[in-house]
Structure 1
Amino acid sequence: MIRLRRDELPPETAAHLTTYTEQIAQAAAPDRKTRAADLWGNTTVRRRVRDELLATLAGMAPGHERCMYCGDGQGTDIDHFEPKSLAPLRTFDWLNHLLACSYCNSNQKRNHFPRSDKDGSPLLLDPTLQDPLSHLRLVLPLCMYKGLTDQGEACIAVFGLNERAVLVEGRRTAYGTAKQSVELWRIGTDRGQHDKAAEVVRVAWNRPLADVLVGMFHQSDHPAAALLFDGEEETLDLLRDPALREAFLSRV
């Protein structure tokens, strides 16, 4: 999971969302859940908003339309961050929409929306509002996540970030290819092949599990980086190179 920027919707789509939210609000409180579900499932309504919602979310997503939660699967579903069954008035709220793969949406998250026992605030992370790096740390040698906060722990549990073997193994592969990417950038730059170096950066960010690349750069700047990259001093030196950091991080 990485920090993402939320884009603006086309004005016509945004206007449709406002209209449907008003229609839900006009229903009696006990009926809003049913009204929201009926509207969201209505063929005409979906035709008016679904394509633009998906297109805009896809443009915000990491890699080639990757899931905003696991970073691996293709983002095919419009997920309601706060489930519409729990918050029907947010069914057509653009700020409540994220792009998810079908596995994260239908198998993992479903209607789970844990809240803090202290103040009732959401425990899941919305990467368009919060920086996951403040809540999750990727332990690079293991390619598993450690929760730094209650929100981080909740995301690990709800999305199965450490329990899904395909994600852990995928991160291991991503870690290997990310290290190769920074090495190839260095080689290309040293040879004056700047177009090739730029292509290395583009490809690196368009791979699945871009959270691994983000974690590498973040941890290379940590006071304990020497321990975090023990045995990988060459990679650490590359990640700390100002020119390389500028080339890679300017795309984030």
Structure 2
Amino acid sequence: MSAATEKIRSTPLDERYEKAHAAWRNLTIRKTVRARLGEMAAGPERCMYCGESRGATVDHFEPVARNPLRTFDWLNHLLACTPCNSHEKGEQFPLDADGHPLLIDPTAEDPFEHLLLTLSLGVYRPLTPKGQATIDVLGLNRRGLPNGRMHARKVVELALHAWDRAHAHARSDETQKHVQTVQDQPFADVCQSMLRQAFSPGADLVFSDAPDLLALLRRDDLRAALLR
């Protein structure tokens, strides 16, 4: 990768994009990068933006058109689904007034510092300008995603109650199975949001329809099982 970057660096500035773009079109290189990212992924190889679909493509967080020298930078590569990568983000890379990226980098930042998931609706709300830009550019509330998140909440709730029953009877194999169900399903952000919001000031209101679930989400043993 460093050799490829040096070849781009040695190219005149006005030709670097074409050089980088041509190099990235090499199918062998793209497959190698995709495979390595899959090996590095924790759990299922989901899209690092929406969390729904398989991360079938490699997204350049900072687009090649903007910075050709980061074409082969590992820290600039993210697993992404085709809708997020090609249909939504494309070459968009908004900056704030100081020239800093307005998109959340999920490999280096905590998305929940900028986004709040409304669990009852499956919709993301912005907490910061960066959160708003990320929702807009990536279409995080596009058709299908809110319903998918609401379904994910139901799956998580059922799995956690099943975990509780198995845990009460010391059936460790079953408890692990239910943890795995939660960890392997799409929309991992839903469970993470549930765990965080369980201790938020408005938790009683957020989980007013499921107080027993709230009590479960606050248990140290469950949180340890899910977060280890």
1:152 and 2:131 matched? yes
Query: What is the one-letter code of the residue matched to 1:182?
Result: L
- Structure 2 CA distance, aligned partners of 1:215 and 1:51? 33
String of CA shifts for 1:150-174, please: whole Å, max 9, x gaps: 1111111011111x22111101110
Identity, % of aligned positions: 43
Q: Which residue of 1 aligns with 2:90?
A: 110
| TM-score of the aligned structures, taking structure 1 as reference length | 0.87
Q: Which residue of 1 aligns with 2:111?
A: 132
Q: What is the aligned length?
A: 228
More relative contact order, 1 or 2 (CA 8 Å, 6+ apart): 1
String of CA shifts for 1:67-125, please: whole Å, max 9, x gaps: 110100111111100110111111111110001101111100001101102x1100111
Q: 1:191 aligns with which of 145, 169, 174?
A: 169
Q: 2:10 aligns with which of 23, 26, 41?
A: 26
CA contact (8 A) 2:24 2:30 kept: no
CA contact (8 A) 1:67 1:74 kept: yes
Q: Which residue of 2 aligns with 1:52?
A: 32
CA contact (8 A) 1:61 1:67 kept: no
CA contact (8 A) 1:63 1:208 kept: no
Q: Which residue of 2 aligns with 1:172?
A: 150
- Structure 2 CA distance, aligned partners of 1:249 and 1:87? 36
Higher mean displacement: 75-84 or 60-69: 60-69
| TM-score of the aligned structures, taking structure 2 as reference length | 0.96
What is the correspondence of 1:1-252 to structure 2 with a 5 Å cutoff?
Answer: 17-42=1-26, 46-47=27-28, 49-61=29-41, 63-117=43-97, 119-162=98-141, 164-250=142-228
Query: What is the one-letter code of the residue matched to 2:147?
Result: E
Which runs of 4 or more aligned residues in structure 1 lie more than 6 Å from their structure 2 counterparts after TM superposition? none
Structure 1 segments unaligned to the other structure (5+ residues): 1-16
- Structure 2 CA distance, aligned partners of 1:63 and 1:72? 13
Deviation at 1:195, TM superposition (A): 0.8
